[in-house]
A and B are shown apart, each in its own frame.
Chain A
């Protein structure tokens, strides 16, 4: 049995209308890699924020190294030896790597010494970094390295990692795991938060499963079947999406040498993308965030017009058309960011339904809006996609992530698209909603619609795609049939981890 480093006893934290954590207790040993497993909204974030001093518990205690532990702020947690790598990076784009690292330390060495320190630690753990570079110019993987190096420079006793692999290629994940195992071997405890069961089985010694704020099980992930853990996490038996065999339809979307400059300082340029898509087909586009996904969606939706011939819908050139003209022609999109891009947070669902549906659903008459018709459309989306909300007059912001995602995807599907492009359709969505969304996309394809699913979740892409291709640095690889692709092959398509090296153990 390992010596206990951190013990949590009866932690409870309630917010108005929701109990985020209810009587959570478990122990983390020295040198242990401990998984914290749970769905979105299960209370994982609140729990780690409590340990990191960002949230004060309503009840319960923590013990670190045998002494009471109640950090007043993250600084206090860091001084006690707790470090954290955030899911949405806590980085400052316009600042250098060195400045970012200094900001995460309480007693930083002098500015001159820091560069040397960064080089030393990054060499030691195989995480190369240039201290002088501007963080906004780095790839997602490199940005994560900044966060990890920032933590490692403080010799933490406990390292918290919140969903660290969601932005990494399979090879980068392997290297991260090597680093983490080395750290654990040196005696650092790691609290590893994820919902990816295969990773947890490969990496972790112990797993604590949270559901609706409560600990439902503690198990050894190497001994427990993934299916069993999944059911513990979700609390129900899940069904895999069903895919019918579909006849090959006519070519509906054709991209020819789609090229566009980066739209902003930290954006990605699109470089000569070629693609042919037939009706009834689901094309999965994989890739690590920041490789041109947003730009590709913008070029397809019309938010970023390009040369006319670069995008063809059936035979028509639509590359230079605006958003509304493309919608009218049947090319519909669902962007990644739900709040603020796909939906206006403070507007009602009726207004959000109107937002993209006004043209195709005939919700206006010579510019004058038909509010009753818009309300009916919103109701229809709510009913057909099982959106849990009191009604169409509620704001988008009041919905949970999964429900809002069902709403915005459903809104596009009900407009009967010819081609539908979705980016990260199940990001941050609970398992039941994710399954429903994937099923809806497949059903749409069964009806002869051409579907593009852009995602960083390879499991998802394997589940829904007929063909697969990879987007790296604004370039799209040739497509391959999805069936029978191995993780290694996908990894090679994603460009691998060419600038990484395995830790020098």
Chain B
């Protein structure tokens, strides 16, 4: 074993990359949950996004179009969830699970003829000046554009939730849907929009896996990333700022265990690969004090 083979700068740099898919999926789910909807189908939407993104990107040769296709794919799948839970008033937990099972099957079917192909390259950008700063530059400012798009979405969500009237209404719907309805806000419409946004973000997160991180398509490649995203939303107490912290913490654990594997630590690979999941459980235990949105997971039916 040779721990000195681990380059701390590279490790920290890859942390941001490892965290990005989770961050993207989690920020979408955060908006969904703030609107009072619990969509457990993140894993299914992510993997559908992964395959859609991969198909579009290889067909067009453009990773950007791939990401667009992934967002559309994820959003379309989430509309199915929205239709069932918001209009047919089905149980959100069960429907979310169904969405995950459905998405896993759908993506496997769609991706059959794309196994073993490499995704078109998605080069890193080198941000002038900032990227040249020693140590900090390579860690923070020399990644592919989606890393920054992800952070931009988080910042945008924070601004939307805390600084705009739309965000206020969305929070109100999530906090008490009966009161929001009584004041004349459109609970269903608000929630459908949130669900669609969540689906699109999950799709982006999935595509980041298939187009950048791996980058190729394999069945079941999300390997629980969607569930971890759900856990990170709880960890973050439904606050965008803390979401970044949670995702990077998770990214750190993932990258560290990969580096330890590469460095040949005397622990079998199988045990090391458990660590992200165990870390997630630990995080859930430590951070289970946040207050969830008041109407989270409850069925809204405007009676009388």
Write out the residue numbers on chain B whose beta carbons fall within 8 Å of the beta carbon of A77: 184
Q: Is B294 an interface residue (CB 8 A)?
A: yes
Report if B175 contacts A (CB, 8 A): yes
Cβ–Cβ < 8 Å partners of B180 in chain A: 90, 92, 103
Which of these binds chain A: B101-109, B166-174, B242-250?
B166-174
A94 to chain B, nearest CB (A): 5
The interface bits of chain A over 62-100 (1 if a CB of B lies within 8 angstroms of the residue's CB, else 0) are 000000000001110110000000100111111100010
A46 to chain B: closest residue by CB: B304
Task: Tell me how many residues of B have a C-beta within 8 Å of chain A.
Answer: 19
A54 to B294, CA, bound (A): 22
Looking at the assembled complex, report how far the CB atom of B173 sits from the nearest CB atom of chain A, in whole angstroms. 10
What residues of chain B lie closer than 8 Å to A425, measured between beta carbons? none
Complex contact A90–B168 (CB within 8 A):
no
Q: Which residues does chain A contribute within 8 Å of B1, judged by CB atoms?
A: none
Contact A92 B184 (CB under 8 A): no
Residue numbers in A under 8 Å from B171 (CB-CB): 92, 95
| Residue of B172, B182, B291, B293 touching A265 (CB-CB under 8 A) | B291
- Is there a chain B Cβ closer than 8 Å to A368's Cβ? no
Q: Check if B127 is an interface residue, CB within 8 A of chain A.
A: no
Q: A264–B154 Cα gap in the complex (Å)? A: 31
A102 touches B184 (CB 8 A): no
Q: Chain B, 172-187, contact with A by CB distance < 8 Å: what is the 0/1 string?
A: 1001101111111100
Which residues of B lie under 8 Å from residue A141 when comparing CB positions?
none
List B249-304 residues whose CB lies under 8 Å from chain A: 291, 293-294, 304
Is B304 a contact partner of A55 (Cβ separation < 8 A)?
Answer: yes
Interface centre among A54, A77, A265 (most CB of B within 10 A): A54
Closest to A74 in B: B184
Q: Are B168 and A15 in contact (CB under 8 A)?
A: no
Across the interface, do B183 and A93 meet the contact criterion of CB distance under 8 Å? no
Alpha-carbon gap, A328 to B288, bound state (A): 37
Q: Is the CB of B172 within 8 A of A75?
A: no
Q: Is the CB of A103 within 8 A of B169?
A: yes
Closest chain A residue, CB of each to CB of B179 = A90
Which chain B positions have C-beta within 8 A of A45?
A: 304
Known: A46-B304, A92-B176, A93-B294. A73 touches B184 (CB 8 A): yes
Asked whether A131 is an interface residue with its Cβ less than 8 Å from the other chain, the reply is no
Does A94 lie within 8 Å of B175, measured CB to CB?
A: yes
Does B176 contact A93, Cβ atoms closer than 8 Å?
A: yes
Q: Using a CB-CB cutoff of 8 Å, which residues 184-201 of chain A contact chain B? A: none
Q: Which of A55, A78, A86, A92 contacts B175 (CB 8 A)?
A: A92
Which residues of A are found within 8 Å of B304, using beta-carbon distances? 15, 20, 45-46, 49, 55
Per-residue CB contact flags for chain A residues 93-118 toward chain B (1 = under 8 Å, else 0) read 11100010011100010000000000
Chain A interface residue count, Cβ-Cβ cutoff 8 angstroms: 27
Measured in the bound complex, the distance between the Cα atoms of B181 and A78 in whole Å is: 14
A265 cross-chain contacts in B, Cβ below 8 A: 291
Residues of B within 8 A of A90 (CB): 176, 178-180, 182-183
Residue of A whose beta carbon sits closest to that of B303: A15
Residues of B within 8 A of A49 (CB): 304
Question: Chain B, 57-90, contact with A by CB distance < 8 Å: what is the 0/1 string?
Answer: 0000000000000000000000000000000000
Q: Mark A50-66, 1 if CB is under 8 A from B, else 0.
A: 00011100000000000
Q: Which residues of B contact A74 (CB under 8 A)?
A: 182-184
Q: Which residue of B lies closest to A15 (CB)?
A: B304
The docked-state distance in angstroms from the alpha carbon of A53 to that of B184 is 8
Closest to B184 in A: A74
Cα distance, A15 to B303, chains bound together (Å): 11
Given contacts A15-B304, A55-B304, A103-B168, contact A93 B175 (CB under 8 A): yes
| CB closest chain-B residue, reference A108 | B165
Query: In the complex, A206→B149 CA distance in Å?
Result: 63
Task: Give, as a whole number of angstroms, the nearest-CB distance from B298 to chain A.
Answer: 12
Residue ID in chain B nearest A55 by CB atoms:
B304
Q: Encode A33-54 as 1/0 by CB contact (under 8 A) with B.
A: 0000000000001100100011
Note all chain B residues with C-beta closer than 8 A to A103: 168-169, 172, 180, 183, 185
**A95-B172 in contact given A15-B304, A55-B304, A265-B291 (Cβ < 8 Å):** yes
A103 to B182: give the CA distance in the assembly, Å: 11
Choose from A89, A94, A104 the contact partner of B294 (Cβ within 8 Å): A94
A46-B303 Cα distance, complex, nearest whole Å = 11
Interface residues of B in 131-186 (CB under 8 A from A): 165, 168-169, 171-172, 175-176, 178-185
Residue of B whose beta carbon sits closest to that of A102: B168
Query: Could you tell me the distance between the alpha carbons of A265 and B294 in the complex, rounded to whole angstroms?
Result: 12
Closest residue of A by beta carbon distance from B176? A92
What is the distance, in angstroms, from B303's C-beta to the closest C-beta of chain A? Answer: 10
Residue from B169, B172, B185, B291 with most neighbouring chain A CB atoms (10 Å): B172
Least Cβ–Cβ distance between A370 and chain B, in angstroms = 32
Contact of A54 (CB < 8 Å), options: B169, B182, B291: B182
Contact B291 A104 (CB under 8 A): no
**Could you say which residues of chain A place their CB within 8 Å of the CB of B183?**
74, 90, 103-104
A54 with B184, Cβ < 8 A, contacts A46-B304, A94-B294, A103-B169 known:
yes
Residues of B within 8 A of A93 (CB): 175-176, 294
Q: Complex formed: what's the CA distance from A296 to B301 in Å?
A: 32
A108 to B178, CA, bound (A): 21
B182 to A: closest C-beta gap in Å: 4
Chain B residue with Cβ nearest A72: B184
In the complex, which residues of chain B have a beta carbon less than 8 angstroms from the beta carbon of A46? 304
Whether A92 pairs with B291 at a CB distance below 8 angstroms is no
Within 8 Å by CB of A89, from B165, B169, B175, B179, lies B179
> In whole angstroms, what is the CA distance A90 to B185 when docked?
12
CA distance A74 to B179 in the complex (A): 12
Contacts of A73 in B (CB 8 A): 184
Q: Can you list 12 A-B contacts with CB-CB less than 8 angstroms, sorted by A residue number?
A: A54-B184, A73-B184, A77-B184, A86-B182, A89-B179, A90-B176, A92-B179, A93-B294, A94-B291, A95-B171, A99-B168, A265-B291
List 3 tightest A-B contacts by C-beta distance, closest first.
A74-B184, A90-B179, A90-B182
Contacts A92-B294, A265-B291 aside, 13 further interface pairs with beta carbons under 8 A come to A45-B304, A49-B304, A54-B184, A55-B304, A74-B182, A74-B183, A86-B182, A90-B176, A90-B182, A93-B294, A99-B168, A103-B180, A103-B183
